Amino acid sequence: MSQFSLLGKHAVVTGGCSGIGNSIARTFVENKAYVHILDLDENQGQSVIESLGSDKASFHFCDVSDQAKVHNVFQSIAKDHPVDILVNNAGIANIGKVENTTEDDLDRVYAVNVKGVYNCLHACISIMKSNGGGVILNMASIAASAGLPDRFAYSMSKGAVVSMTLSVAQDYLADNIRCNSISPARIHTPFVDGFISKNYPGKEKEMFEELSKTQPIGRMGKPQEVASLALLLCSDEAAFITGVDYPIDGGFTTLNA
């Protein structure tokens, strides 16, 4: 068996239709896992499954903020397969300081970024316990630990993700369940391109360069770079790693002083 192989593993990846989640799903399939993608975009989901191969992945329509629906999906998967790996990647962003973050904004971010992670953990852990263990990877952000401007609700939500990671890692050591998180800085995804186009029309190139330079390394990260770290942390090579948040940020949190 090659290093970092996920042969025989069944992985659930939320928000796996685009961006980082899609890169993680593809990387896991390339390394022999069977991947269950949970997402709200059915059309994109079917397209992704076709590109991955229906014998290697499946799509499950799921709103992670709805606990009953999340439990139904996980139970449906668990009827036929173990859940060896859970990647809590689904998330949404929000721009604003505390004074211009509305209650609706906060509730919307909380429902997906915090409650959505909790719902998947709540549905999955009992399955993993009955199967003798598993690996959980939560997608946090450097916003959890760095003071980013205009990211009040988003930073709050990602701080909660890191806290949940530590709690789960501590509580399920005896059940052979590992739990870690990844905290990316700015990663070049379609979301970033859309954000720039919406907020800086006509200045897309200049803003892309400006945002890229906020990372000391001089560029944005690539989704595949995050996916490669996810592969390591979910593989048996990382069997001694749990309860850790990994920044992948081009030096942002340590070299920007």
Catalytic residues: 154
Structural contact between residues 117 and 70, judged by C-beta atoms closer than 8 angstroms: no
Q: Which residues of 96-111 are buried (b: 16+ CB within 10 A; e: fewer)?
A: eeeeebeeebbeebbb
Give CA–CA dist 164/180, Å, rounded: 10
Structural contact between residues 137 and 229, judged by C-beta atoms closer than 8 angstroms: no
Structural contact between residues 85 and 6, judged by C-beta atoms closer than 8 angstroms: yes
Structural contact between residues 54 and 28, judged by C-beta atoms closer than 8 angstroms: no
Calculated CA dihedral for residues 77, 78, 82, 86, nearest 10 degrees? 60
Name 202's Cβ contacts closer than 8 Å, sequence gap at least 6.
none
- In the block, which residue shows the tokens 């595949």? 224
- In the block, which residue shows the tokens 């907020």? 199
